Amino acid sequence: MIRESEYKSRRDTLGNKLSNNSVGVLFAAEAKTRSNDTEYPYRQNSNFYYLTGFKEDNSALVLVKSKKGLKTLLFVQSKDKKAELWNGKRLGEKKAKERFLVDEVHSIATLQTKLRELLENKKTLYYDFALEYPKVKMLKKESQKLFAQKNIASLIGSMRLIKSKAEIELIKKAIEITKEAHHGAMQFTKCDKYEYALQAHIEYIFKSNGAYNDAYTSIVACGNSANTLHYIKNDKILQKNELVLIDAGCEYDYYASDITRTIPVSGKFTAPQKELYSMVLDVQKKVIKKIKPHAKRSKLQSYAEKLLTKGMVDLGILRGNPKKLIQKKKHKKYFPHGIGHWMGLDVHDEAPYKYPNGKEIPLQEGMVLTIEPAIYCDKKDKTIPEKYRGIGIRIEDNILVTSSGYENLSKKIRKEVVDIEK
């Protein structure tokens, strides 16, 4: 659990990044209609949550920076018995002032009037350029007279790169639940059942353990479906002697896990499946060992590509000199994506990979990233040995950068051939 003092510390850090005589505004995510009078499950905007820990919609956080210092204002929905009867209890201004370590709390109904006052004679407005909420449009209209408009999301993203101890504990909890789900999938009787039945079993375990939201739509891809990277139909029958690629993670108190395992439907790898799987697993282990402070993701990427290309040459999937094959990008046909990404409040965390000057940000203690080498051999690819056609394999773990190297946070999720079969 993250304490209110940590949220306040984040707001203070952000305030230090704002220029004098400026206003920063963040909005809660809007509730979205699914159809007619039903809505999608609500999920708070990650940046807003990062600075407040507040889960209600129709809210806003305003930071006012002056030479005197930082002033924080939170705007929330007022108590309303009729509205709360339909949509649940609201915190309201009084309780919000008691809970949050902010200077002022106001009704969201007063936001436009209050902003007009706060923006008077200010030089800079900070807000999230990616959002197109009606409130953002209102904000832009109010700020036409301002000297400059800057993207507050980029400032928050750089803060989100380094995880606190409390954040790491929440990620570990999400991974612990995900471990139970993936192990449950390995034990699930799969032959002649549908992919969606296996997906339902995984997500049942998520929810049974307090992870009410998936971190993303689960991928359960049997056979050649695994060669579609973002396959989410999950509507085919799990076939005997095929592999099933499961990319599934949950959120625990908004913090994500992101795990991929590739397992045999029948419980045993065939010889060709084992050859490909062992090659990818060996690459993953070697790449993970390279993780430490000051290492660069681009170097991890090139190292993974070098190892995978050599592995594919050894197996006859590619032919020629590995170095020349990489120069010609021949390996991209079978490994088209990156070796990993940041992870935190979002499964693909909204944090930068480069400094504003374009230089790559090296790994630092407290960063969390995924490592996910893969090989995708489409069944229609006649250039590769027939025994490998239709096989797609990805193995993904979540790694914390430590002061001396790394910690594989998901190391307890089985991935050795012998352990999966057992």
Q: What is the pLDDT of residues 302-331, one digit of tens each?
A: 999 999 999 999 999 999 999 999 999 999
Predicted pLDDT at 144: 64
User: Which pLDDT value is given to residue 191?
Assistant: 86
Cα 232 to Cα 197, 236, 368, 398, 408: the distances in Å are 13, 11, 25, 21, 27
> Mean pLDDT score of the chain, rounded to an integer?
95
Region 240-269 average pLDDT: 97
**Looking at the chain, which residues constitute the CATH 3.40.350.10 domain(s)?**
4-158
What pLDDT shows up at residue 149? 86
pLDDT(142) > 80: no
Asked if 227 and 244 touch (Cβ cutoff 8 Å), the reply is no
Calpha distance 98→293 (Å, rounded): 40
Of the candidates 182, 201, 261, 394, the residue annotated as catalytic is 394
Q: Is 142 a catalytic residue?
A: no
Give the highest mean pLDDT range of 115-119, 186-190, 359-363: 359-363
What pLDDT is recorded for position 143?
Answer: 65
Could you please state the CATH topology (level 3) that the domain comprising 165-421 is classified under: Creatine Amidinohydrolase (3.90.230)
Catalytic residue among 337, 365, 389, 414: 337
Describe the crossing of helices 111-118 and 134-142 by its angle, rounded to 10 degrees: 30
Q: Which of 50, 253, 341, 406 is catalytic?
A: 341
Question: Is position 394 annotated as part of the catalytic site?
Answer: yes
Q: Please give the full DSSP string across 348-359, using - where no structure is assigned.
A: S-S--SB-TTSP
Among residues 93, 305, 396, 397, the one annotated as catalytic is 396
Give the pLDDT band of residue 105 (cuts 50, 70, 90): very high
DSSP alpha helices (H): ranges in 143-223? 152-160, 165-187, 195-208
Q: Is the whole-model pTM more than 0.75? A: yes
Strand order in the sheet with 104-107: 104-107, 69-76, 60-66, 22-27, 124-127, 148-151
253 included as an active-site residue:
no
Q: Is 337 a catalytic residue?
A: yes
Q: Is 37 a catalytic residue?
A: yes
**What is the pLDDT confidence band of residue 121, given thresholds at 50, 70 and 90?**
confident
Give the pLDDT mean for 188-196. 90
pLDDT at 187 over 70: yes
Q: Taking residues 337-366, report their average pLDDT.
A: 97
Mean pLDDT of 40-45: 94
Domain with CATH 3.90.230.10 in the chain: 165-421
Residue 396 bears catalytic tag: yes
Q: What is the per-residue pLDDT for 147?
A: 67
Portion of the chain with pLDDT greater than 70, in percent: 98
CATH among 3.20.20.70, 1.10.3720.10, 3.40.350.10, 3.30.460.10 for 4-158:
3.40.350.10
